[in-house]
Amino acid sequence: MHAANPYQSPLCRDDAPVRIRLYGLFPTTRATYLKLQGLGFTLLGGLLVAWFVARGTPFAASNAFFPYAPYVIGITAVLDAIEVVVVLRKFKERERELAALD
Domain ranges of the chain: 18-101
Cα 33 to Cα 37: distance, rounded to the nearest angstrom: 6
Q: What is the pTM of this model?
A: 0.77
Q: What does the buried/exposed string (b/e) look like for 90-99 if buried means 16 or more CB atoms within 10 Å of the residue's CB?
A: ebeeeeeeee
- The model's pLDDT over 13-68, given as tens digits with 9 standing for 90+, comes to 567 788 999 888 989 999 999 999 999 999 999 999 999 998 888 888 788 888 89
